[in-house]
Structures are given as structure tokens and as C-alpha cells.
Amino acid sequence: MKSFRFFYTILFSFVLLQTNAQTVNFFKDNIYNLNYNPASEITVGAHFSLIPVISNLDIMAGTNILTYNDIVSRDKQGNKVIDPKGAFSRISKSSSYGEITCNLNTELLGFGFKINPKLYFLFSSRLRMENTLFIPKGLFQLASDGNIEHIGEEMTIFPLASVLTYLDHSIGLQYKLNDKITVGARGKLLMGVCGANIKESEFMLMTDSEWNLHLKGSALANLYLPKGLINAISGNIYLTEIGSLFDFQNFDGNTIFNSLASSWGGGFDVGADIKLPLNFGIKASLIDMGWIKWNRNQQGAVSYRMDINPNHPLYQDGELIFSGLSLNEISPVFSGDKTISQLIKELGLDSALVFTETAAESYVMSTHPKLFLEGYYQLKNHKFSALMRMDFIGEKTLPSFTLAYNLNVKKWFDLALCYSMAKGSYRNLGMGFSFNPGNLFHFYVATDNLFMFFFPLANNYVNIQTGLFFSVPVKKPKKQTEVPAP
């Protein structure tokens, strides 16, 4: 039993995580710092990575809602107690949503080479996943405070979401304008695999002075899956019938290829590195600016409007009004003669919301842009940095701030230490090393949160980035030998 508890504890801690992976950004001799700024310094003559996933694997996930220790503690007698108020204590007072994120960035094929001493060519093909769920703070407040604390107050109860999986193919160039200024840019071809978002969510719940529950509003959800995996619907379906939308029995190898052929997009990364007097410098980059157009071709992309069911017995003037249950209705549940799901179905609550497929022919989803602003102080083997990062997800902005130190030992060993602060996540001590003897191969491991591995119950953010790639050293200019005078 103890082993199961340990497993569930680790699983619970892993699912509730926050996203900011950037320790590799501070390595000096790692080519993958170009993923954060295409103008980052390149110290090799060429590089290539031909092993999918192993070359560069970057996994990030997190939340600003809670940690295990926020809601579970022990009383004076040593018994475990649950405090629901801890479920939203990390969400700032100015925010109405908590975030849960889970991202994947792994390279399938990549290479680059110096065209001349000032110009470096880059190619990369990567599999990207960017998933974020915004959960209304009102749900946690109702769970902890109860309705009595929010009489007459309308509370948002429906989540927002953005889910993207796509292939990112990019070609880039880095150019050294002079010894002080380097610029870089990448153009991208994006091929969508699957995507979904809830871009409009207006469902509101209110408890009136007579303890009646009022639900009103609507939501719009866009969904894209490879062609053939979504069933067409006629008319309306209820919330409990969503499973009928999907037909995964038709999945085969051609399904993904058909998806890639019908959903295209583009994007770009830009960056600059400017060295200032007295060993100071600044770096700036805007990455992952892009979009994907999901086409409705053969039922690939669909949009659904979720509304209050106007034919429901509880429907009144555009909203549902639920007045509660009598003891006669709920007593069979306590006696074991009836399940809660049966009771919900008898009351018609399973049909309170209705889905309707809209007539939109296609829709566009943007990728998640990120802005990096970094100031640094560079010595021969030591570098000190301060980085401000902004993630833009729809209309939401997720900021973070990082302090970092880099030690570079004779171009064969890189060590990076960093401390990051994000909204609701302040225990992020990162560490990474990159081992590259002779500039022939580079093996690296990095994480933004060492504490996660030692104190998983007190943390809400984890990431790991690791990989192996090969490089060709920069050719040193031949020394000219002086010919003795006759």
C-alpha cells in the first residue's frame, strides 16, 4: 500500500507543474541556446544532430495553482488534513485564472555550418507541443468558501484552453555585423498535427439570496484532429455525448500525413546580441511568432458552440435555475439504492448544456510567442546574467525573471546555475552541465528546478532538457612562417 501511495504522490506532483525551461540559454558552447535567441554566440564551425529525440529533448510542465503541501498537511495528532483554501492561494489577487501547462520541444533533424567567418546557416526540424489550461479561480473559491460567501456574485466557472501539436521546420541565418553586434533570424514552416482552443468562455454561476443556483452564458471551442477521426454531427448533442464525436478506430499511418497536408502555417524568430563596454552586453529575442490555419477539409477542423439547453425543464429566461434537492431525492443515494450518476441523469443535469457544430470553414490558431530580454556581464570564463521572459498565450501573459551564472572551462565543459521566479512559483533553482571534449560531440543535461527532485511535494514546476549532438571545430588560421632574409 505504501508503494502505491508513493506512486500517486509522485504522479500528483508531476502533473501539477509550471513552464519556464531556459537553463540551456546560459550555456556558452551549446548550439541549442539558439532555440532562445538565434543570435546567441556560435563557437563551432558546424554541427549536426541526426538522432530523433535524443539530440534535443525538452520537457516542461507546471502550474501556479498549488502544490501537494498547499492543500495537504498534518494536524497536531499527526493526521492528514485537506485545506481547500490552499488550492488557489498561489493565484495572484489580480488574476481570475490559474494556469496548468505542459510543453514538449524535441528535435528530429538539425544541422548548421559556417558559410564564411561572419555568416552561419541553420536548419532544424522539431516536434512541438504547447498546452495550457486556464482554470477559473471561482471554482476553487466556491469549493473552499461555499456559496454563502458569494451570495449575489457572478463567478466564472468555465476554463479556457490552448492545445497545439505541430512540426516546426526552420531555416535561419546568423550574421556578425562586427565584433560587437550579432543578429539572427529564422523563418518557419509549421505543419499542424492537432489543436484545440476554447477562445470564448462566458459561463457564469450565481447564488441568489434564496439559495437558488443560476447558470448562464456560452462558450466557443475549436478542435482539429486528423481527417477521419471526428464524426460529423447533425443537430445538437449533450455534454455526456462528447465521446461520440471521436472515431479513433479509423486511425492509421496515413491519418497523420493527411493532417499535415491540410494544415499549414508559418512563423519566425529574431534576435540580437550587443556587446557593450566594460564586458557588459544585452541580448533580445522574439521567438515562436507564428500561426497555423486549420482547414475544415473532410471534417478535419470543427467549431462547437456550447450553450444552455433551452428545452431543459430548469430553463428560464436564458439561464438554468436550480433550486436544490429534496431529502426524498437524495436519500436513495445514501442508502445505496441509487448512484450519483443516476440521480444526475434523472434530474436532467447531464443535458443542461448542448453542443452545436458551427459552419466555420476554417480557423487560425497562433503559436505561443516568447520575448527574452537579457543583460549580462562577461569575463573570460565566467558570465553573470539577468533575464526577463514573457510568454504570450492568447490574451494571457505569463512573466518570469531569472538570475544565472555560467562557468566555461577551456571550451570542454559548461556549467550553468540559475534561479527563476514565475507567477506562483518561486522555488526554481536550476542547474545544468554540457560536456564537449575537443568540440567533437556535446552531451548536456539541464533542469530549471533541482528542488523538484528532492522536495516534490512542495514544488509545482519541473523540467528536463537533455541531448547529444556533434560538431566540427572552427578551423584555426595557419600561422605564416617567416622566411629568413638572404
pLDDT tens readout for residues 51-105: 776 788 888 888 878 778 888 877 777 778 777 777 777 777 667 788 888 899 9
Residues β-bridged to residue 218: 307
Tell me, yes or no, whether 314 lies in a domain: no
What is the residue range of 63's domain?
A: 2-72+98-309+352-379+451-472
Tell me, yes or no, whether 81 lies in a domain: no
Residue with cell string 544532430: 49
Quick check: 18 pLDDT over 60? no
In three-state secondary structure terms, 474 is coil
Q: What percent of the chain has pLDDT over 70?
A: 84
**Count of the separate structural domains present in the chain:** 1
Count other C-beta atoms under 10 Å from residue 407's C-beta.
14
Tell me, yes or no, whether 281 lies in a domain: yes
Q: Pull the grid cell for residue 287.
A: 521567438
Q: Pull the grid cell for residue 120.
A: 552561419
d(Cα 214, Cα 9) in Å, to the nearest integer? 37
Reference 430, options 453, 450, 409; nearest CA is 450
Of the spans 99-108, 258-267, 471-480, which averages the highest pLDDT? 99-108
Question: Residue 234 burial (CB < 10 Å; 0-12/13-18/19+)?
Answer: exposed
Region 341-369: mean pLDDT is 78
| Phi-psi domain of 78 (left: phi exceeds 0; alpha: psi -120 through 50; beta: other) | left
pTM, full prediction: 0.82
Contact 391, 380 (CB under 8 A): no
Q: If pLDDT is split at 50, 70 and 90, which confidence band does 113 have?
A: very high
Count other C-beta atoms under 10 Å from residue 339's C-beta.
11
Task: Check residues 291 and 98 and name the one with the higher pLDDT.
Answer: 291
In three-state secondary structure terms, 354 is strand
Stated length of the chain? 486
Count other C-beta atoms under 10 Å from residue 162's C-beta.
23
Region 418-422: mean pLDDT is 85
Tell me, yes or no, whether 143 lies in a domain: yes
Beta strands in 117-159 (DSSP E): 119-136, 155-156
d(Cα 179, Cα 278) in Å, to the nearest integer? 14
Q: Pull the grid cell for residue 321.
A: 435555475
Count other C-beta atoms under 10 Å from residue 195's C-beta.
22
Tell me, yes or no, whether 204 lies in a domain: yes
Count other C-beta atoms under 10 Å from residue 358's C-beta.
12
Residues β-bridged to residue 302: 223
DSSP letters spanning 203-236: -EEEE-TT--EEEE-EEEEEEE--TTSB----SE
DSSP code, position 454: H
Q: Alpha helices of 96-250 — where are they, by DSSP H?
A: 137-145
d(Cα 302, Cα 318) in Å, to the nearest integer? 26
Q: Alpha helices of 16-105 — where are they, by DSSP H?
A: 68-71
Quick check: 2 pLDDT over 50? no
d(Cα 243, Cα 172) in Å, to the nearest integer? 43
Tell me the chain's radius of gyration from C-alpha atoms: 27
Task: Check residues 463 and 278 and name the one with the higher pLDDT.
Answer: 278
Region 272-278: mean pLDDT is 96
Q: What percent of the chain has pLDDT over 90?
A: 27
Beta strands in 326-412 (DSSP E): 353-357, 362-366, 370-378, 382-393, 396-409
Count other C-beta atoms under 10 Å from residue 434's C-beta.
25
Query: Which pLDDT value is given to residue 182?
Result: 97
Contact 471, 47 (CB under 8 A): yes
Contact 461, 20 (CB under 8 A): yes
Quick check: 459 pLDDT over 90? no
d(Cα 195, Cα 408) in Å, to the nearest integer? 41
| Close Cβ partners of 410 (under 8 Å, ≥ 6 residues apart) | none
Question: Residue 309 burial (CB < 10 Å; 0-12/13-18/19+)?
Answer: middle
Report pLDDT digits (tens) over 365-382.
Answer: 889 899 999 999 999 889
| Close Cβ partners of 450 (under 8 Å, ≥ 6 residues apart) | 429, 430, 431
Task: Check residues 397 and 177 and name the one with the higher pLDDT.
Answer: 177
Residue with cell string 544585452: 282
Tell me, yes or no, whether 338 lies in a domain: no
Quick check: 388 pLDDT over 90? yes
Query: Which pLDDT value is given to residue 15?
Result: 33
Query: Which pLDDT value is given to residue 327?
Result: 67
Tell me, yes or no, whether 62 lies in a domain: yes
Contact 343, 254 (CB under 8 A): no
Tell me, yes or no, whether 466 lies in a domain: yes
